[in-house]
Amino acid sequence: MAPAERIQFLTDKLNYYSFQYYQNAVSEISDQEFDLLLKELEELERKYPDLKREDSPTHRVGGEITKEFPTVKHKYPMLSLSNTYNEEELREWDERIRKGLNGQPYEYICEIKFDGISLSISYENGVLKSGVTRGDGTQGDDITTNVKTLKSLPLSLGKSAGELSALGLNGDFEIRGEGFMPTKVFERINEELQAEGKQLLANPRNSAAGTFKMQDSSVVASRELDCYIYQFLSEEDIFKTHEESLLALRKAGFNVSDSWQKVSDIDEAIAYINHWSEKRHTLPCATDGIVIKLNNYAQREDLGFTAKSPRWAIAYKYKAESKSTLLKGVTYQVGRTGAVTPVAELEPVILSMTTVKRATLHNADEIERLGLSVGDYVFVEKAGEIIPKITGIDTSKRNEDLFKTRIEFVKKCPACDTELIRTEGEAAWYCPNEKGCPPQIKGRIEHFIQRKALDIDSLGEGKIEILIENGLIKDAADLYGLKFDDLLGLEKVHEDELTGKKRKVSFKEKTVDNIIKGIESSKQQPFAKVLFGMGIRFVGQTTAEKLTDYFKTIDALETASLEDLLNVPDVGEKVAQSILEYFKDDFNLNFLNKLKAAGLQFEAENTIKEMEGSALEGMILLYTGTFKNYSRSEIEEKIEANGGKLVSGVSKKLSYLIVGEAAGPSKIAKAEKLGVQMISEEEFEALLAY
């Protein structure tokens, strides 16, 4: 068989086997036989890359590196849903539906609201063409290479034209789905990370979002993400009801959850909600509620949309599961900024399929508000099904003698014994010993190496701790002086505080080689990532990007005045003062000089922005609210592309304040007080036309 024929044959056959396995739960060949055929196809595609099909099953293995995910505009906006937590509001919404339809009969489709990352996936002639994140609802990131790794998602529908036509899927269409990390996969990955001494994933939802945005699609593939499909969109009116679309998508091979149900009225919808209240915890991923939608598409059209959400759908959010357990004690954690956070140590309790042993108490005010004592039984719940928190005391189990032993917030740092301070207007207590407090030093280094900063992923929490304990590093800049022989052979046995399990972290030859390579390659990270990694208080990832885009070099930022800083979009007084204080400190300047000597990037890349014109030249502008024709980033780009200067705050120097829907009242009030001229989106566009 010729290579072209063999590639066609293997592609079709393997896609068929995948369909049978993932959609019909039928294994027609063994895993070993499947892998052998897949390896043969991979080898043929390497030899004849021009013959590789867009729906090749080798896309699921990954391997492509995406340095940047381009931002694309959604063909159909991805709106959010109105939500409620109680039955009364559901019935009020149902009454609005009844009135809006003037007494027409109607029915609902009820669906589980899966907690992951919303995806928009486009097909052309039955072949997957693009996968895009929700983003801001108007535009999102094109992550097609990563979406193609989802094994339950058809890369092509693999059906005849007649079959596709019968299903209504023979043209171009878009589907919406919720990408997620299955609970079992999340637990497996965390076990592996723990064994390697690396930082654990926080929760399945955040892990899914982070994985979908990884640059290496082979890593994405290894994490075995999945996706439930819940919506069909097309230019043509193919289906009359949502039910018809779900059945057709299921027949075509899409992973539509079996948990949806058609109901005839709001009473049946509420019964569905109650039915899944506990049962949802048996599903393979996290959930946070139920979505109720009108079934009939024509009726949806009649009701239409508000500015933010459809009138014909609503999300019912379950109240967080709450259980009573024993408060065994309180420990205190010191973060990289010096903030001291109290943590409740609990008798283990199972919440939302996970064992909870610790819960945040937030700050001293929260401890006082709750009136906690060690030995109390407390109610614990997961905020948003993710973060455990204490909501109150179980008074039915309280021993009155415990009133004598109320918990008092510590006065000194639990790590370095320095007297804690509290800034007026802030809830947190801080350890001011930022240069000598071990958790702060460790936290700053961990912040520096994280993926959003210098991305030295070969290092982790356990390894950083070993380097500090052995006197090899005192700050992140010291990483660049490490040698292979400094690290080889280092090891430490860690004991988990909660489980008592022991694990050894070892610096073996391959590990050390990866660390040295990771440190060296981090020197090529762009200026914005370096600035974020430096850990200036209040300077997050987005603010770092704005600063580097505005000042271009670290020297220009270092010598900037307060007024200069306030001219940067999204930089307010608090952020500006923090930056000024950072560059006044000799300790920080020494750290910066060490980073410069190591060869890190401290100049923004010379990206040439395409200019559209000079209609806004000499103008200083600011916007507030949302707009019909522009997203937040688009209006910023439009201002700069036409010669205007974008600032972050209202001042007398402002030429115009562009006012959209849901505009910020404080900006409006300040503009009125200062006599700043306010213009609409249409008037802004008229300025551009001059």
420 lies in a domain? Answer: no
CA-based radius of gyration for the chain: 28
CATH number at residue 450: 1.10.150.20
Do residue 567 and residue 586 come from a single domain?
A: yes
Q: Rounded to whole angstroms, how far apart are CA atoms 7 and 10?
A: 5
Do residue 270 and residue 155 come from a single domain?
A: yes
Highest average pLDDT, of 298-312, 391-405, 639-653, comes from: 298-312
What's CA 500's distance to the chain center, in Å? 31
Other beta carbons less than 10 A from residue 450's beta carbon: 17
Catalytically annotated residues? 113
CA atoms within 13 A on the CB side of 37: 21
Do residue 125 and residue 234 come from a single domain?
A: yes
Which residues contact residue 52 at a Cβ distance below 8 angstroms, ignoring those fewer than 6 apart? Answer: 7, 45, 58
419 lies in a domain? Answer: no
Give the DSSP letter of residue 672: H
Query: pLDDT tens, 552-600?
Result: 999 999 999 999 998 887 788 889 999 999 999 999 999 999 999 999 9
Q: Is the Cα torsion angle 646, 650, 651, 657 positive or negative in sign?
A: positive
Query: pLDDT tens, 267-314?
Result: 999 999 999 988 988 898 888 899 999 999 999 999 998 867 899 999
Do residue 102 and residue 218 come from a single domain?
A: yes
CATH number at residue 341: 2.40.50.140
At which of 524, 543, 558 does a domain end?
524
At which of 317, 348, 374 does a domain end?
317
Query: pLDDT tens, 494-513?
Result: 655 444 456 667 788 988 99
Separation of first and last alpha carbons in the chain = 65
CATH number at residue 91: 3.30.470.30
Do residue 205 and residue 338 come from a single domain?
A: no
Q: Rounded to whole angstroms, how far apart are CA atoms 273 and 253?
A: 27
**Strand ranges in 225-318 using DSSP code E only, listed in sequence order:** 226-233, 261-263, 287-294, 313-317
What's CA 52's distance to the chain center, in Å? 32
Q: Could you tell me which residue, 160 or 662, shows the higher pLDDT?
A: 662
What's CA 10's distance to the chain center, in Å? 36
Do residue 506 and residue 539 come from a single domain?
A: no
- Closest by Cα among 494, 435, 417 to 461: 494
555 lies in a domain? Answer: yes
Q: Is residue 624's pLDDT more than 80? A: yes
- Closest by Cα among 253, 257, 206, 189 to 227: 257
Do residue 366 and residue 254 come from a single domain?
A: no
400 lies in a domain? Answer: yes
Q: 323 by DSSP, 3-state: which?
A: strand
Domain around 342: 322-405
**Strand ranges in 429-470 using DSSP code E only, listed in sequence order:** 429-430
CATH number at residue 679: 3.40.50.10190
Both tokens assigned to 568? 């940067």
Do residue 583 and residue 656 come from a single domain?
A: no
Q: Rounded to whole angstroms, how far apart are CA atoms 588 and 596?
A: 12
Do residue 539 and residue 513 come from a single domain?
A: no
Do residue 55 and residue 86 come from a single domain?
A: no
430 lies in a domain? Answer: no
Residue 666 backbone phi and psi in degrees, to 5? -70, -40
Q: Which residue has the tokens 């592996």?
A: 192
418 lies in a domain? Answer: no
Q: List 380's β-bridge partners, or say none.
A: 323, 390
Least confident of 95-109, 214-228, 373-387, 462-476: 373-387
What burial letters (b/e) apply to 229-259, b meaning 16+ CB within 10 Å?
A: bbbbebeeebbebbbbbbebbbebbbbbbeb
Query: pLDDT tens, 665-681?
Result: 778 888 888 889 999 88
Q: Rounded to whole angstroms, how far apart are CA atoms 256 and 23?
A: 9
Burial of residue 290 (CB within 10 Å: 0-12, 13-18, 19+) is buried
CA distances from 80 to 173, 201, 313, 369, 382 (A): 21, 27, 10, 34, 23
Q: 142 by DSSP, 3-state: which?
A: strand
574 lies in a domain? Answer: yes
Tell if the pTM clears 0.85, that is, is over it: no
DSSP 165-204: HHHT-SS-EEEEEEEE--HHHHHHHHHHHHHTTPPPP--H
Do residue 292 and residue 183 come from a single domain?
A: yes
Q: Grade residue 649 by pLDDT with cuts at 50, 70 and 90.
A: confident
What sections of 567-650 are H helices per DSSP? 573-584, 586-598, 632-641
Q: List 296's β-bridge partners, or say none.
A: 241
**pLDDT value of residue 505:** 74
Q: Rounded to whole angstroms, how far apart are CA atoms 152 and 154?
A: 6
Pairing between β-strand 108-114 and β-strand 287-294 as defined by DSSP bridges: antiparallel
479 lies in a domain? Answer: yes
Q: What total of structural domains would you count in the chain?
A: 6
**pLDDT value of residue 474:** 93
Q: Which residue has the tokens 């210098």?
A: 454
Q: Is residue 147's pLDDT more than 50? A: yes
Do residue 229 and residue 334 come from a single domain?
A: no
At which of 524, 552, 569 does a domain end?
524
